[in-house]
Structure 1
């Protein structure tokens, strides 16, 4: 006696000819996140040889505030042509923050020693950003022989 149920062997499923794109979308989102995270790190490995340039000097109405970084990474703050005060990174943040609160449009320039380590200039730029400076310029000397 055979059962009334159809046998599993005789049951056939119709094949679908559609592509399931959900796994592909998941892979693309993961790749997008990976590229978004790694893209800012790519620029960190660029070799740079500074600071000579054939650029025109900036002409401003006010005298800019200059942050100097010597070859040993020491900071000096120059508020006018004649004063050059040694400062610590904490003092730099406080003094530049006070200057920016007084005059938000003040020009701030960073002068780094060519034979010094880039870490000192980077630290100065970070401290200036934390002090609230929105625009910072890098100083260079004119190319010799031009």
Structure 2
């Protein structure tokens, strides 16, 4: 009488791993990252102008991003994110960064409602700080895909 529940019947060890708990954990992490990702956007709220252009490759180093908001206040992407800085501070910080890393790209995020004079003054300050090329950040137009 050697039925399946008898003591002399030996079970083979199961070599499969139950992955359902791992899938559950991964789905929870995915939801958490989807919720927190929009909060990780750093920088000043700037309404960028919308133009059609080719993206610039900045693969080699993280760029310095200098922002001008609609009130004409300047912000720099390194250090204090929330406090406006003066043009002199922007120039000094860019000089200090470029002394350590001379090939660091410099990008300007200008609000579309910012004064043209504020942006030109900023670019002049960056040029005096030793920046040869300044990139301008914009957004693609809404609704037009080409």
TM-score where L is the length of structure 1: 0.60
The answer to whether the 8 Å contact 1:78/1:85 transfers is: no
The count of corresponding residues between Structure 1 and Structure 2 is 96
- Partner residue, 1:57: 55
| Aligned 1:1-146 pairs, distance under 5 A | 51-61=49-59, 62-79=61-78, 83-146=81-144
Residues in 1 aligned to 2:120 and 2:83: alpha-carbon distance in whole angstroms: 20
Runs of 4+ in 1 over 6 A off after TM superposition: none
Structure 2: give runs of 5+ residues left out of the alignment.
1-47
Deviations 1:69-121 (A, max 9, x none): 011111000138x9454211111110001111111211101111101211110
Please report the TM-score for the alignment, with normalisation by the length of structure 2: 0.60
Gaps of 5+ in 1: 1-49
Matched residues in 1 for 2:107 and 2:83: separation?
A: 15
Instruction: Give me the CA root mean square deviation.
Output: 2.0
The secondary structure found in structure 2 opposite 1:141 is coil
Q: Residues 108 and 84 of structure 1: is their aligned pair in 2 closer, same or farther, counting only changes over 3 Å?
A: farther
Query: CA 1:111/1:125 → structure 2, altered by over 3 Å: closer, same or farther?
Result: same
Higher strand share: 1
